[in-house]
Amino acid sequence: MRSETGSLARSAALRGALWITLIALITTGAALTLQYVGTARLIEARQHALVDDEATALLGRYRDGGVLGVAGAIERAQKLPRINEFFYLLADPAGTPLAGNLVAWPANVEEPGYHTFTTEVVSTGGQPRQRRVEARAVLLEGGFRLLVGSLSDEQWVLRERYVSSILWSFLATGVLGLLLGFWYSRRGLAFLAAATATGERFLAGRLEERLPVSGVGDEYDRLAETINRSFEEVERLVSSLRAATDGLAHDLKTPLTRIRARLELAQIENATTGRLREVVTESRQDLDGMLRLIEKVLTLARAEETGGASFEWVRLDTIVAEAVELFEPVAEDKGVRLLAQINPVRMMGSPTLLAQAATNLLDNAIKYTPVGGEVRISLESGEEFARLTVADTGPGIPAELREKALLRFARLDASRSQPGSGLGLSIVSAAARVHRGMLTLSAGNPGLVVEISFKSVAAKAASVD
């Protein structure tokens, strides 16, 4: 099985290398071809300009002195030393040369204009030789013909070098492309193999599995970090679900056991009508508690499912002020001072979820603050942030237990003697996470300080509409 997997990986890497090499070859060929075409056109334009200048000068001689004037000008031009070697031919209507250094009129030159051909050229030593010439043919009056040209050897040399360069480039690109492409493809396949193996172990129940990150910071590292964050979120949800199942089972088992015990005892004792009313009343209280617990569980589930698409512009300061107004009588009855400092804040969010978070924070703070204590709630704002803080003077939470306090059904008192479901801070944590905020618990010396920081929420420090 392992050898078959290795063979498939090598085949996939080879296919990837071939594709990369093909793309590199096409790119190299296109680049060299464009360079060759541009250079060839530049050389051709330069040659045409030189030939045009020379032909224009001879046509001027023809207008002044006729055919004899052109022949004389050609004879004189041939004797002058020049950087660019020109070729001339003045022929009669039958094609017989009258003047110039071309042996005969080219057979394939019949129409006026530019032509490229190979012909015999008389050298300075008087010996004819084959040369590649690009010339302009001009038809004169009386059937006489004039041919003015220059060597086009540069274009042929350029073409030969282009062919040689593209062959060597294809060879070098092909070899390097195959080697580098095979290496790069194997690297990608190695990452996929590692991701597959890690994912299979993760699905087998090893939720602590994570993809390795090389630290290079390339696309593979970014993908690994994204997958690892997904694994972490799944692990968090599974752990939270396990804790929720255990906590929910415990919190429901106790009142159900009490209800059953009351009913069985009433049946055994043949309870009177008054005693039955007490049993019904006490059982109804337990049922109400269970219904409140279920409602909180549903609230937490809805909080986890809340998405940004359902957000709207809300006045966070108004939501917090309403929560303070709701809990002022509760704090007063318990003998706890409730102090508030609220600045205007307008942000995108879920008004229901934000209100639930604010009320849960105040409920917990007042519940755990002793008589004569103090609860302070503040809402600060800036250009790109808002910060909601609730501080109390209660017993606080030890640093090692603060992370646990955010889990579902987390109860720091193992005996569960204090009233509550352990979902208050879980709902607050879900609200912060949904709004891309950061929830932190810290010591208040004495007490606990709970802070939610919302970033990039278009908070307004001044007046808010």
What's the one-letter identity of residue 363?
D
What are the structural domains, with CATH classification, of the chain?
Answer: 2-157 (3.30.450), 210-305 (1.10.287), 307-455 (3.30.565.10)
What's the one-letter identity of residue 417?
S
Distance, CA of 91 to CA of 365 (rounded, Å) = 114
**Sequence-distant contacts of 317-322: CB under 8 A, at least 24 apart:** 317/342, 317/343, 317/344, 317/345, 317/379, 317/464, 319/351, 319/354, 319/355, 319/358, 320/358, 320/377, 320/379, 320/388, 322/355
Q: Could you give the count of Cα atoms lying within 13 Å of 35 in the half-sphere of its Cβ?
A: 12
Lay out the sheet containing 113-122: strands in order across. 97-100, 86-91, 145-151, 128-139, 113-122
Nearest 5°: the CA angle 85, 41, 88 is 25
Q: What is the pLDDT of residue 379?
A: 92
122 within 8 A of 46, measured Cβ to Cβ: no
| Closest C-alpha among 455, 459, 403, 390 to residue 429 | 403
pTM: 0.47
Distance, CA of 421 to CA of 251 (rounded, Å) = 8
Q: What is the pLDDT of residue 322?
A: 93
Distance, CA of 404 to CA of 42 (rounded, Å) = 77
Per-residue pLDDT of the chain (465 residues; tens, 9 = 90+): 444 444 555 565 566 667 767 777 777 777 777 777 777 777 777 877 888 887 888 888 888 788 788 788 877 877 776 555 777 888 888 778 888 877 778 877 778 888 877 776 655 555 666 777 788 888 888 788 888 887 776 666 667 777 777 777 777 777 777 677 667 666 667 777 788 888 888 888 888 888 888 777 777 788 888 888 888 878 877 776 676 666 667 667 777 888 888 787 777 777 677 777 887 888 888 787 778 767 766 666 666 666 555 678 889 999 999 999 999 999 999 999 999 999 998 888 888 888 888 988 998 899 889 999 999 999 988 777 889 999 999 888 888 887 776 765 555 554 444 555 556 677 788 888 888 888 889 988 888 999 998 875 544 443 444
410 within 8 A of 441, measured Cβ to Cβ: no
